[in-house]
A and B are shown apart, each in its own frame.
Chain A
């Protein structure tokens, strides 16, 4: 989760940074793009082989890895593009822990299901 302060969007002109320079490097972490998602990737962690391909292909660095192992998704920044699910090379051997379906270890489910 973001620890940085989000840039102010309402400063009067005298207080803006000249030339539009951005002084706080890496503040895009404060931009919560996870709300853009209409489909959410879900992983059956038990059946995941930790091949890390999802981590390589994710264009938003939203695969959370700890000590060399995938532990989950950064849902604040995952836009739900589905590349991880598409590229996941591993099929489940028993129904997916979250969706109950056969198919990949990472599957996409409607975000709306999580909002209720």
Chain B
């Protein structure tokens, strides 16, 4: 990678969006890259729309400002469509990764996005089935891995185990790992 990858996350406070952004950056760091992960601090209340940003680069990152023209937009909560301008500034050849039960074609139509790639994954469904809670954010990382190869799935799984291992019961950690693998397998591009 010769240039910086800039990612904007959309979700709702309490969904683990910020953590997922940090986790992605950490995964990149594991492979020797530089990263920044930061949320747009607002009135943090459960459910309020929030944005977070992740930058990944081979070189030290000096800029300190929100990302205006992202290479990738990750939408953790599909009910933000129509509430927030999700494609604002997204490069024409950019990538959208969205947690939805809809198809990439349906999402393209709803977002009026013709270029780049759209990746869909029903992360909420997977989360509810595996983890029994609607916490889909980290599953988006598996899709980032598949879409870009910028981080590999094993690194994400390794970091997830490390992060959750100290706090959660082993079976819950395993459920999270299963969810990651399913997201990697079940996501579709279109």
Residues on the B chain within 8 Å of A111, using CB: 79
A115 touches B78 (CB 8 A): yes
Say whether B46 contacts A110, CB under 8 Å. Answer: no
Contact with B along A17-60 (1 / 0, CB 8 A): 00000000000000001011111000000000000000000000
B101 & A36 in contact (Cβ 8 Å cutoff): no
Q: A36-B12, A38-B77 are in contact. Are A112 and B49 (CB under 8 A)?
A: no
Contact of A36 among B48, B128, B134 (CB under 8 A): B48
Q: Distance (Å) between the CB of A86 and the closest chain B CB?
A: 15
**Interfacial residues of chain A within 41-91, with CB under 8 A of chain B in the complex:** 79-81
- Chain A nearest CB from B141 CB (Å) reads 20
The interface residues of chain B lying within 8 Å CB-to-CB of A79 are: 45-47
A35 in contact with B124 given A79-B47, A80-B47 (CB within 8 Å): no
Chain B interface, DSSP helix/strand/loop, else mixed: loop
Interface size range of chain B in the complex: 10 to 19
CB contact between A110 and one of B12, B47, B83, B124 (< 8 Å): that residue:
B124
Q: List residues of chain A with CB within 8 A of the CB of B49.
A: 35-36
Q: A36-B49, A110-B128, A115-B79 are in contact. List 13 more A-B contacts (CB 8 A).
A: A33-B48, A36-B12, A36-B46, A36-B47, A36-B48, A37-B47, A38-B15, A38-B47, A38-B77, A80-B47, A110-B124, A112-B78, A116-B101
Which A residues fall within an 8 A CB radius of B? 33, 35-39, 79-81, 110-112, 115-116
Binding site for A on B (CB under 8 A): 12, 15, 45-49, 77-79, 83, 101, 124, 128, 134
